[in-house]
Amino acid sequence: MPAADQPSEKMKFQLTLRQRGISDQAVLRAMEDVPREVFVMSDDRDRAYRDTALPIDCGQTISQPFVVAYMTEQLQLKPQHRVLEIGTGSGYQAAVLSRLARDVVTVERFRTLADAAKQRLAKLGCDRVDVQVGDGLSADLPLGQFDRVMVTAALETIPAALIDRLARDGVLVAPVGPPHGIQTLRRLRLTAAGQEVKDLLDVRFVPALAGLARET
Ligand code: SAH
């Protein structure tokens, strides 16, 4: 039986998120609504509701559900928000964000991943997500400004070009640290006085890389 049809799997999934401290009801509902089994590789479908990261194509990973929920909660989304995600991967995080915000633009440097994510999101009716192929860190992408920015690949430092994408009172959440080590999830908020930065949690993400991926 596919994981989604096993009520106990999904109940455990919700329980784990709550036990680990996710308390925002809208975030919990979004996590419940988005079928993670659609975003993992077919061999991993029976593991889709475990609280672990899993491999996806192009040597990348779909994040651990707790980390997806936690980063989403830390963005403090409002229904009118415009959100930028850098690192589409499977499209799972973008699907969760789209349940809570007005528009999501998500950028991926692998065309293969972007195309697959686009198809999945269309099938699920996530029509508020715009998947773009590109280097999400590049200042040249004509994307405009966002109320919220989430980076789901590890940065060594937060580039100024990314902070410039934030609208007034904007919030950015990103893993910051060494590319293949333990990083810190950092939240940056624009305030009247400047920037307020808070380190939240140790995490491990695949590195953010510059430029489009060369695919064979
Ligand atoms: N959020 C994803 C998981 C992200 S894995 C999900 O829900 O499945 C990190 C992704 O970031 C990888 O797919 C990687 O190719 C992408 N990435 C890394 N550097 C990037 C960059 N500069 N611009 C866009 N995408 C990038």
Do the domain assignments include residue 15?
A: no
Give CA–CA dist 115/110, Å, rounded: 9
Do the domain assignments include residue 10?
A: no
Beta strand ranges found along the chain (DSSP E): 54-55, 61-62, 82-86, 103-108, 129-133, 146-151, 166-176, 183-191, 194-203
Q: Please give the order of strands across the beta sheet that includes 146-151.
A: 129-133, 103-108, 82-86, 146-151, 166-176, 183-191, 194-203
Do the domain assignments include residue 93?
A: yes
Active site residue 23: no
pLDDT of the residue at 2: 56
- Please count the structural domains in the chain: 1
* pLDDT band at residue 8 under the 50/70/90 scheme: confident
Q: Is the pLDDT of residue 4 over 60?
A: no
Do the domain assignments include residue 129?
A: yes
> Tens of pLDDT along 166-196?
999 999 999 999 999 999 999 999 999 999 9
pLDDT of the residue at 22: 98
Q: Tell me the average pLDDT of the chain.
A: 95
Do the domain assignments include residue 106?
A: yes
> Tens of pLDDT along 18-70?
999 999 999 999 999 999 999 999 999 999 999 999 999 999 999 999 999 99
Give CA–CA dist 155/45, Å, rounded: 30
Domain region containing 78: 52-203
Do the domain assignments include residue 33?
A: no
Residue located nearest, by CA, to atom 26 of ligand 1: 87
User: Does the beta carbon of 95 lie inside 6 Å of ligand 1?
Assistant: no
Do the domain assignments include residue 42?
A: no
CATH number for position 167: 3.40.50.150
Residue located nearest, by CA, to atom 14 of ligand 1: 87
Do the domain assignments include residue 45?
A: no
> Tens of pLDDT along 62-115?
999 999 999 999 999 999 999 999 999 999 999 999 999 999 999 999 999 999
This prediction has a pTM of 0.96
